[in-house]
Amino acid sequence: MGVTIGGTGSYLPKRVLDNDELERLTLDFDPVRAGCSLDEWVTDKIGIRSRHRAAPGEGSAGMATAAARAALDDSGLTGQDLDLIVLSTFTSDHRLPQSVSFVQRDLGSTAKCIQLEAACAGFIDALAVAVGLMTTMGYHNVLVVHSEVMSVLSDPRTFLMQAIFGDGAGAVILQPAESDSVGITAIETATDATNCEWLYAGGGSLSPRTPEVIDNGSFFIDIDNQAIFPFAVEKMSDVLRSVVASASRLLDDVDWVIAHQTGINISRGIATDTGIDFSRFLMTLPHTGNTSGATIPIALDFFNRRGVLAEGDFIVLPAVGAGMSWGAVSCTWVETKAGRAARSRRSEVVSDNCVSRGVVFA
């Protein structure tokens, strides 16, 4: 059974935190030593101008539900039509009940619920789980969503992690494809835990939240950026090539790459390594930041609703994340309701002011 994406949705909190405000809020950026403003530094090094922040009382379940409703509307379904929900997040609102239960309840659904505790590669893992269950257990209308409140794990006193990470959720509806030649054509996932501690965040049974770890900063997310950069470029490039080959296609056939967006230089590195022109990389990074595993479905929805994704486009979605995990999905795009409407008015919606080659400014 083939599987296609029948609808896309996303949600970004209303509050936007730009680099200028971030410089005023944090304590450890020295513009004199840097020789530039924080905005200049972050834009040049990471490619992010702003990111969204969840409001007080706004959690991963609520954001996931909002993204899910948009995806359901795009697919023409309701929550009652769903028979499976797969949510990926490592910032669940509670240990119990899991955020996915609130999503099911608030959508008015009776679908089977599964929650994966995964970070930046979580959306790819969730797609793999969903497609596998559709194939083996006969599920037909499936919601796959990644939702992350990264701000709860970013030290408010320091600028770097706050500059990198944003909050948000993205969702897709999966349905049986009319033929094996359209929809999802290949999925690959892998893990190498040898260097799993390159990314760290507290909050588990051996790293509980205490005043001491909050005060010394060891509770918050920490990344070995120097180690992860070459690893991310290598693994995403390798798995991109692999899923393209598994789909019996060539790199020259790739119309669009929507990669996990952790930094613009990583995406540029993938383009260089694979030989895929950077103009074929679609990014929302400048205005969303790194929303962990939600970056791919947020970008997918952004470009779908702006008429960029056309019927028959060959799209590859590579990701790398904590663990260390990586994976990719390739698909031959089938237009959704929102995509068709956007393409009919694309000349009015998409312009050089909205989309530039390799980077989206919005």
Q: Would you name the residues annotated as active-site residues?
A: 120, 260, 290
Q: How many angstroms separate the CA atoms of 284 and 290, rounded? A: 9
**Which CA distances in Å does 261 have to 132, 216, 297, 298?**
26, 29, 11, 10
Alpha-carbon distance of 2 to 186, in angstroms, equals 10
Q: Is there a cis peptide before residue 324, judged by omega within 30 degrees of 0?
A: yes
Report the C-alpha gap between 143 and 154 in whole angstroms.
Answer: 28
Q: Are 301 and 70 in contact (CB under 8 A)?
A: yes
User: In Å, how far are 114, 212, 270, 297, 301 from 100, measured between CA atoms?
Assistant: 7, 31, 33, 17, 21
Do 89 and 60 touch, CB atoms closer than 8 A?
yes
Closest CA to 143 of 7, 327, 316, 302: 7
52/64 Cα distance (integer angstroms): 15
